[in-house]
Amino acid sequence: HQSDMTTHPAHKSAPKHTLLHLVLNLLIFASASSQAASFVPHNEPPPSPSVQQFIDRVQTSPRSEVKMRAWTCHGRTQKEMVDKLASAGIIKHKPTQEAMIKVDRANYAGGRSGAYVDSPQPIGYGQTISAPHMHAHALEELMPTLQKAALEHPDDELRILDVGCGSGYLTACFGRLVDRGPKGPILPAKGRVYGIDAWSELVDFSRANMMKEDSDLFDSGTVSLQYGDGWEGLPDAGPFNAIHVGAAAATFPKSLMRQLAVGGIMVIPVGPVGGVQSLYKVEKVKDSPKFDEGDYVIKNLLGVRYVPLFHP
């Protein structure tokens, strides 16, 4: 999939610190799960039967739309790393850039060693913190619908669900976008972010990480974290303007799709464990009393490699 995409562009004369970053990148990636959350180009085989019911309606992104210089956006600081993601064209919206700068990845990746390297890293329990370029890509895909909802209904709360909150990093970024506290939201409207994970230990890990420098998101009621089944979501807290799924589902979870608000977007990796996976954007265009495939427009974004969405 997207076989013409360059993930390791050549450099004429790489400075020493860049070479060190690349070596560190390779070491960290080798220690991470072989299905870490990251971009990976591949030639896509026929879809599995579990996704066949949707595949005829899937739109595939033109190759020209996705020219990510993934794996290369290393920095010495959070800001330098995020600015490189913007310079590479991975980040296009200012709110994405601002949110990622405000949330220090070092607080969520187990320390500063390797925190600003553009690669996934293990966080325990067979899970990883996604590569920064994947966090940026997820935020970018969700940003237009969040901006539209905030501008059209500034007095309504935005609602965001982060399935598989893991380290808590992306959950905190969502929180900064809709911050209900004194600092105020980056977007034109405030909101609430719900992070869930099927590993209670990772819920505790997310909470501990967020308490380091982003505890105000708890104090303001912007972010809540809890144990939960990612396949089922949080129907009582919806409908959601945006849903992010941080692990690969074997097929499209109908329960999560139902929890989208009309006009809402879900970004989700779908595919078998150890097999070909793709990142999809699912938009809900209308709402029927019962689940109806016709209520959704599904777009295949790019090839990825994620840990599996766990059934508790």
For residue 141, the tally of other CB atoms under 10 A from its CB is 20
Residue type, 109: A
Each residue's pLDDT tens digit, 14-62: 444 444 444 444 444 444 433 345 554 433 344 444 444 554 455 544 4
Beta bridge partners of 225: 195
pLDDT in tens, 248-285: 999 999 999 999 999 999 999 999 888 889 999 999 99
pLDDT at 78: 96
Q: What is the pLDDT of residue 70?
A: 61
- For the annotated catalytic residues, the residue numbers are 130
Take residue 208 and report the two structure tokens written for it.
């501990």
% of the chain surpassing 70 pLDDT: 78
For the beta carbon of residue 308, count every other beta carbon within 10 angstroms: 19
Give buried/exposed letters for 71-95 (b at 16+ CB in 10 A, else e). Answer: bbbbbeebeebbbbbbebebbebeb
13 pLDDT exceeds 90? Answer: no
What pLDDT does 127 receive?
A: 81
Q: Quick one: which of 143, 85, 81 has its CA closest to 109?
A: 81
Q: In terms of pLDDT, which residue wins out, 221 or 5? A: 221
User: So what's the pLDDT on residue 79?
Assistant: 97
Give the pairing of strands 191-197 and 223-227: parallel
DSSP bridge partners of 299: 59, 281
Per the listing, tokens 């080798």 go with: 30
Structure tokens at 230: 């990612």
More confident residue, 12 or 138: 138
Report, as an integer, the average pLDDT of 231-239.
Answer: 96
63 pLDDT higher than 90: no
Cis peptide before 239 (omega within 30 of 0): yes
pLDDT per position as a tens digit, 153-192: 999 999 999 999 999 999 999 999 999 999 999 999 999 9
Q: Is the separation of the CB atoms in 150 and 187 below 8 Å?
A: yes
Confidence (pLDDT) at 32: 40
Question: 219: which 2 tokens?
Answer: 């104090």
Q: What is the mean pLDDT of the chain?
A: 83
Q: Say what the pLDDT of residue 273 is.
A: 82
Q: Is the pLDDT of residue 141 over 90?
A: yes
User: According to the model, what pLDDT value does residue 37 have?
Assistant: 57
Rounded distance between C-alpha atoms, residue 279 and residue 39, angstroms: 9
Q: What is the pLDDT, as a whole number, of residue 69? A: 63
pLDDT at 168: 97
Which residue type is seen at 114? G
Q: What gap in Å lies between CA 178 and CA 187, rounded to an integer?
A: 6
Give the pLDDT score at 64.
35
**Which amino acid type is present at position 250?**
A
pLDDT of residue 44: 39
Q: What's the whole-number mean pLDDT along residues 93-109? A: 97
Q: What is the pLDDT of residue 8?
A: 34
| Residue from 166, 171, 100, 161 nearest 128 by CA | 166
Task: Describe the chain by its helix, strand, coil percentages, rounded to 5.
Answer: 35, 20, 45
- What pLDDT shows up at residue 114? 86
Q: Which of 86-90, 125-129, 145-149 has the lowest mean pLDDT?
A: 125-129
- Judge contact between 120 and 36, C-beta under 8 A: yes
Q: How many CB atoms lie within 10 A of CB 144?
A: 11
* pLDDT surpassing 50 at residue 312: yes
Kindly state the average pLDDT of the residues 205-213: 97
CB 206 within 8 A of CB 246: no
- pTM for the full predicted model: 0.81
pLDDT confidence of residue 54: 52
- CA-CA distance, 267 to 281, in Å (whole number)? 5
Task: Using the predicted structure, report yes or no on whether residue 211 has a pLDDT greater than 90.
Answer: yes
